[in-house]
Amino acid sequence: IRPSSNKGANHLTCTWKVTDGILANVDILELKKDNPFSLGKQLIVDQDEYEDLDEIIARYMQPISNNVRDIMNFKYYRDTQGGDKATISHILRTEKASNPSRIPYIFSASKEFPGHFILAYYPDKERCELFRATPFGYRYRRLNF
What is the pLDDT confidence band of residue 36, given thresholds at 50, 70 and 90?
A: confident
pTM score, two decimals?
A: 0.89
pLDDT recorded at residue 28 = 97
Averaged pLDDT for residues 5-34: 93
Q: pLDDT tens digit string along 41-95? A: 999 999 999 999 999 999 999 999 999 999 999 999 999 999 999 999 999 999 9
Nearest Cα residue to 92 out of 65, 124, 61:
124
Provide the edge-to-edge strand list for the sheet that holds 116-121.
105-109, 116-121, 127-134, 137-140, 143-144
| Distance separating alpha carbons of residues 92 and 22, to the nearest angstrom | 23
Query: By percentage, how much of the chain surpasses pLDDT 90?
Result: 92
Using CA of residue 69, residue 74, residue 78, residue 83, what is the dihedral sign? Answer: negative
CA angle at 45 for the pair 39 and 49, rounded to the nearest 5°: 75
